[in-house]
Structure 1
Amino acid sequence: MSEPVRLSKRMSELGISSRREADEWIEKGWVKVDGKVVSQLGSKVLPHQKITIEKQASQEQSRRVTILINKPMGYVSGQAEDGYKPAVALISEDTHWKDDPSKEKFRPSQLRSLVPAGRLDIDSVGLLVLTQDGRIAKHLIGENSPTDKEYLVRVKYTRPGRLPDSELNMLRHGLKLDGKALLPAKVEWQNDDQLRFVLREGKKRQIRRMCEAVGLRVIGLKRIRIGNVRLGDLPTGQWRYLRPEEKF
């Protein structure tokens, strides 16, 4: 027989909500299991049981926004640290991209519970996702996230000659970080000093550490795509809303 699991965990597995959202809705009496309201935190369900949510939960979820920002250098992705500002500090009515095709209007309340779905180093630039939607955060940064990310990386080879093809192949597959083998990556030259990386994982300073391992020094790093969502023409330091039809 299948083992019962926490209701909030099951809702997260089904893509209904994040666990935190689920717990909030359970406390408010907005969750039903087989047609009956469940309001006790920690309640468990069996996999075959039907979970539904009240319209209040759907309405609350639909008001949650996801923001795409072209992060400049010098900003951290999450909490402020060592005197550096977090990327969320860049989000205001003044920095909202004038060519944003979304019809969503900026409200200060949108800054509440807005968290980075993935990180971008302080000395890296480009596409950063900030969201109030736990489902998107889970999809992008979950342990088994299927979403790939694309980077343009300007490099300088620190050894004589050019980077050998054998070392380029090591970047693609064969390196270890922190004692653990990295997943295969797509790595190819764009021009004489710029590489294109496509990764499906995001260990701390991963690309920089990969490059160091084969004698490359990173001069500049820019993320240009996450899944099906591209940075495009979004100017540095400005932001726009993820549109309803856009899917990572």
Structure 2
Amino acid sequence: MTDKNPDPSHIRLAKRVAEQLNCSRSTAEQFIEGGFVSVDGQVVEAPGARVRPDQAVAVAQDASLLALTPVTLLLHKPVGFEAGLGVPAGQAAHASRRQGATPATTLLNAASHLAEDASGIRVLQRHFKQLECFTPLPTEASGLVVYTQDKRIARKLAEDIESLEQECIVEVKGDIAPHGLQRLCNGLSFNGRPLPPIKVSWQSETKLRFALKGIRPGQIPAMCDAVGLTVVALKRIRIGRVPLAKVPEGQWRYLQPWERF
């Protein structure tokens, strides 16, 4: 909340940093949002924070605008959370609340960051802004969802999602029809169109592994129903070459620089 009658001796942190560094206000704001500025020894990431004249404002010696690169977050979405398509995270959250669903973006915060994240990236509040999702997942499904600030990755996912293989583990119940596995692999139709060959195999007595491209909403449940099976749970564990790996439900990790979809 902004003070309507701020003490005139208290100035915005961005202005103080700009004066100290003799730089532009926008550059000062980027240093602050990059986590390079501390007030009385505590890192402050809000350019609009107000500081007193007696408070010590310091800028880290390794402060660099080159480090302010966009990030991509890989979330293990639990069942019951909605992950939409191509809508900025803030707008998606607003729309989800209107529809009564819980937006998956509420899980993107510092507390839910995977402790064993090998990326070495320092968690900053700016990493949770201007995120877009191009890998939607039904509310009743769990697994890998990608949120990105990186326009290159956004373009890659938007343009190539149809050709990227997605891997899902599907828990089922019921008795599969004769030659049902072969039909799942090749021979079924969806929405009146024949499906291309798909890689399907048993992982256990109740779990199937699907590896397919161009997946459509409702496709896997419809395929299973066609061979006498009912889907109990669906979990996406890979998109292209990027795996969910060992990220627990409700937590997220950074896409590492060497990872490619």
**Does TM, scored on the shorter chain, surpass 0.5?**
yes
With the length of structure 2 as denominator, give the TM-score of the two structures. Answer: 0.65
Identity %: 39
Query: Do residues 240 (structure 1) and 246 (structure 2) align?
Result: no
Q: 1:193 to 1:202 in 2, by over 3 A?
A: same
Task: State the partner residue of 2:222.
Answer: 209
Aligned partners of 1:117 and 1:136 also within 8 Å: no
Task: State the partner residue of 1:229.
Answer: 242
Task: State the partner residue of 2:139.
Answer: 122
* Amino acid across the alignment from 1:139: K
Aligned partners of 2:121, 2:215: CA distance in 1, in Å?
30
Deviating runs (4+, > 6 A) in structure 1?
59-62
Aligned partners of 2:133, 2:67: CA distance in 1, in Å?
17
Query: Cα deviation per residue 1:19-55 (whole Å; 9 max; x = unaligned)?
Result: xxxxxxxxxxxxxxxxxxxxxxxxxxxxxxxxxxxxx
Query: Do residues 86 (structure 1) and 103 (structure 2) align?
Result: yes
Task: State the partner residue of 1:197.
Answer: 210
Task: State the partner residue of 1:15.
Answer: none
Match of 2:70 among 44, 60, 64: 64
Task: State the partner residue of 2:199.
Answer: 186
**1:165 to partner: Cα distance:** 4.7
Three-state SS of the structure 2 residue aligned to 1:191 is coil
Query: Do residues 151 (structure 1) and 164 (structure 2) align?
Result: no
Aligned partners of 1:74, 1:144: CA distance in 2, in Å?
23
Q: 1:177 to 1:85 in 2, by over 3 A?
A: same
**1:144 to partner: Cα distance:** 6.6
Aligned partners of 1:70 and 1:237 also within 8 Å: yes
**1:60 to partner: Cα distance:** 8.9
* Amino acid across the alignment from 1:240: R
Aligned partners of 1:238, 1:154: CA distance in 2, in Å?
22
Task: State the partner residue of 2:125.
Answer: 108
* Amino acid across the alignment from 1:103: G
Q: 1:192 to 1:168 in 2, by over 3 A?
A: same
Three-state SS of the structure 1 residue aligned to 2:202 is strand
Task: State the partner residue of 1:76.
Answer: 82
**1:61 to partner: Cα distance:** 11
**1:120 to partner: Cα distance:** 1.2
For these two proteins, the number of residue pairs brought into alignment is 186
Three-state SS of the structure 1 residue aligned to 2:203 is strand
Q: 1:94 to 1:143 in 2, by over 3 A?
A: closer
Aligned partners of 2:194, 2:68: CA distance in 1, in Å?
39
Three-state SS of the structure 2 residue aligned to 1:142 is helix
With the length of structure 1 as denominator, give the TM-score of the two structures. Answer: 0.69
Task: State the partner residue of 2:50.
Answer: none
Q: 1:100 to 1:133 in 2, by over 3 A?
A: same
Aligned partners of 1:75, 1:184: CA distance in 2, in Å?
31
The root-mean-square deviation of aligned C-alpha atoms, in Å, is 2.1
Three-state SS of the structure 2 residue aligned to 1:207 is helix
Aligned partners of 1:109, 1:156: CA distance in 2, in Å?
44
Q: 1:173 to 1:135 in 2, by over 3 A?
A: farther
Aligned partners of 1:84, 1:94: CA distance in 2, in Å?
22
* Amino acid across the alignment from 2:182: N
Q: 1:210 to 1:60 in 2, by over 3 A?
A: farther
Aligned partners of 1:61 and 1:133 also within 8 Å: no
Aligned partners of 1:74 and 1:122 also within 8 Å: yes
* Amino acid across the alignment from 1:184: P
Q: 1:138 to 1:166 in 2, by over 3 A?
A: farther
5+ residue gaps, structure 2, are 1-64, 85-91
* Amino acid across the alignment from 1:73: V
Aligned partners of 1:139 and 1:147 also within 8 Å: no
